[in-house]
Structure 1
Amino acid sequence: MRDCFNIDEMSVKDIDETVHLEEIIFSHPWSKKSIESTLLSSDNICLVVYDSEKNIQAGYCIFTTSFEDADLCRIAVLNDYRRNHLADRMLKKAFEKLETNGVKRVLLEVREGNNAAITLYKKYGFEQIGKRKNYYSEPAEDGLVFEASLSASYYHCTL
């Protein structure tokens, strides 16, 4: 595996490319305005990963925070860059930042059929705490709700 990937905090200059990736990856992409307003809130954690050899944004993640809780709202990696552990690396870096900011618990929803994501989340100590019937559309699918205690999760993960 080549290691030409840089993970940095998302900045305003990354918004247009993040919007482009949203449109490619998700059936219901976030708007530019949504991404921008989330980024501009200082408590949120937004990261991007770049292929430094090709100067291409390969993925991103977005966490919103409220006191001791955070929600993983988005995590995405372009198809050509999957299997490089980029989502894993972004989660690890985001969890370090979240813990520094006093976050204790992380919540997320994931498609019931997204086995790769579920496996990754379980590696970080996430446990299913609920199910939302028909939460997703295009295609219709149930959403699984997961929760992790931040202090107990990422320390046990190795890349």
Structure 2
Amino acid sequence: HPDSVWLSQADHQITGFIVWQTVFYESELHLIAVAPEYRRQGIASALLQHWQNAVQQPGATRLLLEVRASNETAQQLYRKHGVQTCGRRKNYYALPDG
């Protein structure tokens, strides 16, 4: 599974998507997004559940993701799915010019 993408659709429209990469026993979430008009309907949870299920078959035992410290909504979603903080990168999202 070098790169995997999964789409959520309704009424012939993409409502959300998730992109990840799995290498050996580690899978990293690169991107998850839900269209604004479809938020708060469980789509992001379904996408995360799909990722968690999909990477179990190739045997991934470690799932990783990064989230901006100020994105509390995403952090709540990830915690709901059992994600735990394992580290913080100081100034990771800071602009190069400060």
TM range (shorter): 0.7 to 0.9
Could you tell me how far 1:137 is from its partner in structure 2?
Answer: 5.2
Query: C-alpha deviations, 1:15-64, integer Å up to 9, x for none?
Result: xxxxxxxxxxxxxxxxxxxxxxxxxxx4433101111x2x1111110110
TM-score normalised over the length of structure 1: 0.56
2:50 corresponds to 1:69: no
Which residue, 47, 51, 59 being the options, matches 2:6? 47
Answering whether residue 56 of structure 2 is matched by residue 107 of structure 1, we say no
Larger relative contact order, structure 1 or 2 (CA cutoff 8 Å, min sep 6) = 2
Contact 1:62-1:72 within 8 A present in 2 as well: yes
Deviation per CA, 1:44-99, whole angstroms, max 9, x where unpaired? 33101111x2x111111011011000000000111111101101001111211100
Unaligned runs of 5+ in 2: none
User: Whose helix fraction is larger, Structure 1's or Structure 2's?
Assistant: 1
Letter in structure 2 aligned against 1:45: S
Q: For residues 81 and 66 of structure 1, what CA distance do their matches in structure 2 show?
A: 31
Residue identity matched to 1:73 = H
Q: Which stretches in structure 1 are left out of the alignment for 5+ residues?
A: 1-41, 139-159
1:113-128 maps to which residues of 2 (within 5 A)?
113-128=70-85
RMSD value, Cα:
1.5
Aligned to 1:94: 51
Shift of 1:135: 1.8
Aligned length: 95
Higher strand share: 1
How far residue 132 of structure 1 moved from its aligned partner, in angstroms, is 1.3
Amino acid at match of 1:129: C
